[in-house]
Amino acid sequence: MSRLLDIPIRVEQPVRTGGLGGGVAAILSELVGMLEILAGGGPPATIDMRSLPMSPQDRIELQSVLGNGEIVATLAADGLSAFRETRVSGVWWVEHRDRHGELIAELLDVARFPPILQSDLGEIRASALQLRERIAVGDTGPPAGVHS
């Protein structure tokens, strides 16, 4: 054989011997560390799923291991966001979509609840002040433009 084209080529699928793929096991190990930090009073953490080189099979395996919890929440902002609690307490599968429905972010949030759902303290202060002012002037009806 003197030509490159004459070399026989055979493509074989990797043999899986069972268990989790290396990428899935690595993600799960990372989640364990994040959960331990959170349980010890540390800050929430996030894994950006779109930055990971995962095969469709890896994604299916990870979803299977994490499973579904009891809570699913949606947020309608500049697109739809879905927050799905996994069977692993403290791990949330989060998807953010643009207004056309395209997936723009996919995250695993390790937190007591997804941080984006937490109210901003500045907004809470402003709401308390506005409500106090409405009470002071006897305005207990719905705010202007709000229909009950």
Cα-based distances in Å from 90 to 29, 111, 134:
14, 5, 38
Question: Above 70 in pLDDT, residue 37?
Answer: yes
The pLDDT tens digits of the residues spanning 60-89 come to 999 999 999 999 999 998 899 999 999 999
What pLDDT, on the 0 to 100 scale, is given for residue 17? Answer: 39
Question: Above 90 in pLDDT, residue 93?
Answer: yes
Q: Region 90-98: what's the mean pLDDT?
A: 96
Q: Please say whether the beta carbons of 68 and 86 come within 8 A.
A: yes
What pLDDT, on the 0 to 100 scale, is given for residue 70? Answer: 95
pLDDT band at 18 (very low <50, low <70, confident <90, very high): very low
Write the CATH number of the domain with boundaries 22-121: 3.30.1370.140
Cα-based distances in Å from 71 to 76, 96, 114, 116:
17, 17, 11, 15
What is the rounded CA–CA span in Å between residue 112 and residue 76?
Answer: 21
Domain chopping of the chain, boundaries: 22-121
Question: Above 70 in pLDDT, residue 116?
Answer: yes
Q: Which two tokens stand for residue 80?
A: 């739809």
Higher local confidence (pLDDT), 146 or 47? 47
What is the rounded CA–CA span in Å between residue 39 and residue 52?
Answer: 25
Neighbours of 117 (CB within 10 A): 14
Indicate yes or no: pTM above 0.75: no
What pLDDT, on the 0 to 100 scale, is given for residue 88? Answer: 97
Percent of the chain with pLDDT over 90: 66
Amino acid letter, residue 34 = M
